[in-house]
Structure 1
């Protein structure tokens, strides 16, 4: 689903988006643990059965992670970095397509940047005029 957000609609959606993003981070961390466990099995020279079971567990965890990402991005929100906690909400500023941006730890959407700008191009919402739906 494609959605254009305003600062108001993005902030209204933010609690659920944050919950979904926290779930993605937890699933990613689970994948990392399983990768380490799999590597330990390889390093120990363990038998095929143990390796295959752990590999299948890892594959299922990766599938679950990507499904969670698909669900979040299905709301129109773009994950820019799981590691840095960066999410962007598509919006319009007058006739220009822009991103409303949120970083993990922030309480609300306070910044935006152009389509071709990243996190370093963030500008405060209150100094740039109205962002229209």
Structure 2
């Protein structure tokens, strides 16, 4: 993580990030739905011993799935280029690195929230904390400027 944000900088990115997360989730759901349909078709073909297959339709479905998967990958890449990372695409949760009290922490935003309301230490598995705690509490609010 080379880029860090202040809380206010991260807050201003929320509308853009929300749009990107929505696009990535929609594409991932489309890809998953098409994948499930293709697996069901393969299972029916196998169980029937060679059911007549509409090959052009199956090929279109496969192409649609690939397109949706690529859209999801491209959108995730766009999110990462901004400096955020996806913590959980199903929940629509992102993390943005911030400098607080001389260390990197992660500002956590979940799709549907109007603003960032949680943060956590950068160590894997650290618990989520409310923005009023620690360096983002009344006495420690954004004393340091990021790079």
TM over 0.5: yes
| Deviation, structure 1 residue 48 | 7.5
Give yes or no for the alignment of 1:61 onto 2:72: no
Show structure 1 runs of 4+ deviating over 4 A. Answer: none
Residue 104 of structure 2 corresponds to which residue in structure 1? 97
Selected match of 2:131 from 106, 111, 125: 125
Aligned residues, how many? 132
Segments of structure 2 that go 5 or more residues without pairing to the other structure are 46-51, 135-139
SS at match of 1:106: coil
Q: How many Å separate the matches in 1 of 2:94 and 2:115? A: 12
CA-based RMSD of the aligned residues comes to 2.1
Instruction: Mark the runs of 5 or more structure 1 residues left unpaired by the alignment.
Output: none
Matched residue, 1:116 = 123
Instruction: Provide the secondary structure at the position in 2 that maps to 1:36.
Output: helix
> If you compute each CA radius of gyration, which structure gives the higher value, 1 or 2?
2
Give the C-alpha shift of residue 47 in structure 1. Answer: 2.8
The whole-number CA distance in structure 2 between the counterparts of 1:110 and 1:25 is 21
Please, what TM-score do these two structures have when normalized by structure 1?
Answer: 0.86
The answer to whether 1:11 aligns with 2:17 is no
The reply to whether residue 24 of structure 1 matches residue 24 of structure 2 is yes
Residues 1:73 and 2:84 aligned together: no
* TM-aligned CA deviation for residue 117 of structure 1: 4.7
Give TM-score, length-normalised by structure 2.
0.79
By how many angstroms is 1:87 displaced?
A: 0.7
Aligned twin of 2:91: 84
What is the rounded CA distance, in whole Å, between the counterparts of 1:94 and 1:25 in structure 2? Answer: 34
How many Å apart are 1:116 and its aligned residue? 1.0
Q: 1:19 to 1:81 in 2, by over 3 A?
A: same
Give the CA deviation at 1:71.
0.8
Counterpart Cα distance in 2 of 1:47 and 1:11: 51
